[in-house]
Structure 1
Amino acid sequence: MKSKKIHHVAIICSDYEKSKNFYTNVLRFSIIKETFREQRNSYKLDLKVGDNDQIELFSFPNPPSRVNSPEACGLRHLAFEVENLTESVAYIESKGISVEPVRVDELTGKSFTFFKDPDDLPLEIYEQ
């Protein structure tokens, strides 16, 4: 197999409207398409993150809780590249969202930090 890129990242949320608001109004990802799948009583929201990146936001009735250990097996976090970390942190905090202290990646020398989405999914912003 020869992969060209990551096509999308899928996220299942517990409160569709709250997560839709977070990803579209707070993080400012644009909506590509919103679909209600009646047979599953579920929404699928396709979001444009960057020039070629997508997130699929799903809602399902009564999804199980996420394992919350930061070192649990599976997806650890999603990271988004930003031009200015200081401005991005100030913006996120202005929306009432807690942001961890900024750290420096010892391998690249780049600054980064973490915050969480409405379901406690860890999200990283990483300065380009």
Structure 2
Amino acid sequence: MGLLTFSHIAISCTDAIATEKFYTKYFGFTRARVVPLGDQQIVFIKLGQMYLELFQASAESPVPPPTNDGPQYPAWRHLAFQVDNVDAKLAEMKDEAKIALGPLNFDDFIPGWRTVWVADPNGNIVEISQGYVDQENPPQLEDADINSRIPEAANAP
């Protein structure tokens, strides 16, 4: 396999300017490129090697905005960022932190793991977390793990 790296996440924005300000102000993104498209533009913002591609939405959402930690139906559930201190980040964001869920402690899983979910200017859910660490030796994925969760797989020839 040749080169494979994560490229970007595209967001259709109710207010692309407010979205860019939110991610630059609170998560350190910077403007990387602007692509003009007639009377519209696509704005790429980046944090390290992670890009968000911002489009101005041209239609209303057919579903209500997500709540809690994101949609419960098949979709991208949320974006997540690690910080040193969730409470300090919330204090920095003040009224712009539209809390959807939490803050919650997950010490039963990882000591010091704490998370809050907030809505960005478009209503997309953003997780802000502290203290997450990888599991030392996670179990390997096996075909049986996947097949047990997909009803059609049980009936496949």
Fold in common (TM above 0.5): yes
Letter in 2 for 1:61: S
Shift of 1:52: 1.7
Give the alignment's TM-score, normalised by structure 1: 0.79
Letter in 2 for 1:83: D
The yes-or-no answer on 1:126 pairing with 2:123 is no
* Structure 2, unaligned runs of 5 or more: 132-157
Give the alignment's TM-score, normalised by structure 2: 0.66
In the other structure, the counterpart of 2:49 is 52
The alignment partner of 2:33 has SS state of: strand
CA contact (8 A) 1:104 1:112 kept: yes
* Structure 1, unaligned runs of 5 or more: none
Q: Distance in 2 between matches of 1:118 and 1:96?
A: 9
CA RMSD across the alignment: 2.4
The yes-or-no answer on 1:73 pairing with 2:71 is no
Within a 5 Å distance, the mapping from 1:1-128 to structure 2 comes to 4-38=4-38, 41-49=39-47, 51-65=48-62, 68-69=65-66, 70-92=71-93, 94-99=94-99, 100-105=101-106, 106-109=108-111, 110-128=113-131
* Identity over aligned pairs, percent: 22
Structure 1 stretches of 4+ moved >6 Å:
none
Q: How many residues align?
A: 124
Q: Which has the larger radius of gyration?
A: 2
Shift of 1:47: 0.9
